[in-house]
Structure 1
Amino acid sequence: MSIVTNLNLITTAKPSAISPVLQRRTKMLAKVQEQLDMCEAKRNQVPFTPKRLKTVVNKATGERTTVETIKRVKEWFWLSTETGKINLAIKYGAKTLKLNKKGANAIEITNGTELIGTLHKLKEAVIAGEFDDAISEASDATRKAFKK
């Protein structure tokens, strides 16, 4: 029992739910990481095939089974036809986030290496909470669309 007495013991309760801001930030962070993994795979010329678990019901027997399937991931970036540079839009769900008060919705990048670096910076910005206002605005717009 001498080991337990040397530990720093406290009385606390585990929180039952995390805040909506933290949930959105975590979701956004996962999507940025997905885009980063896709870019790394393209640079290394390796196929990018993220997996997800899907529950499927067998129509003949009615039995439910869990199957691993390939997840479809849309690219947030594209090659601009006018400038020949890469444009990167940050998305939350299906909504493109506004990046400043003027309404800019994309980042212009010169090459693939800079794209990966920019995604790393975006990841840090999401962790720091810089996109919280834009994410909550997009989330509120989605919520309002369902209330019609």
Structure 2
Amino acid sequence: MDGEVTISIEAASDAKVLIISVAARMAGMHPQTLRQYDRMGLVQAGRATGGGRRYSVRDVALLREVQRLSQDDGVNLAGIKRIIDLEQAVVELQQRMVQLETELAAAYQRMAELEAMAPFPRRDLVPTGRVSNALVVWRPTRP
């Protein structure tokens, strides 16, 4: 298959360096299609100093995925936008989960360190700062 390029979206570069004509050619689309997708928020191009659109290799891979979903799977553009948004939300949630797991592990580690330093390391013994001679009388309530 001459001229076909396979791009892994996860490993692709995020640098916005490709002009619209090159990105369109790499994605197998017309530049006007890229402009439309940019306006719809499907694939958002960066902007050069002069205002021209710039795309990354990751953007080109995403454009190909949009084309595949549209042509092969029959998904409309609104559905494709929803899929892209949900996939991005999943990635963000996974990153947040990793962050929270790291923070939780650090908190457990800190708790263990503090317990090891405490004069009474057992949790069922609570030291008090004062001595009391108070007497507590308990009487059950009668029905």
Fold match (TM-score > 0.5): no
Instruction: Mark the structure with the bigger radius of gyration.
Output: 2
TM-score (norm 1): 0.24
TM-score (norm 2): 0.25
Q: Which has the higher strand share?
A: 1
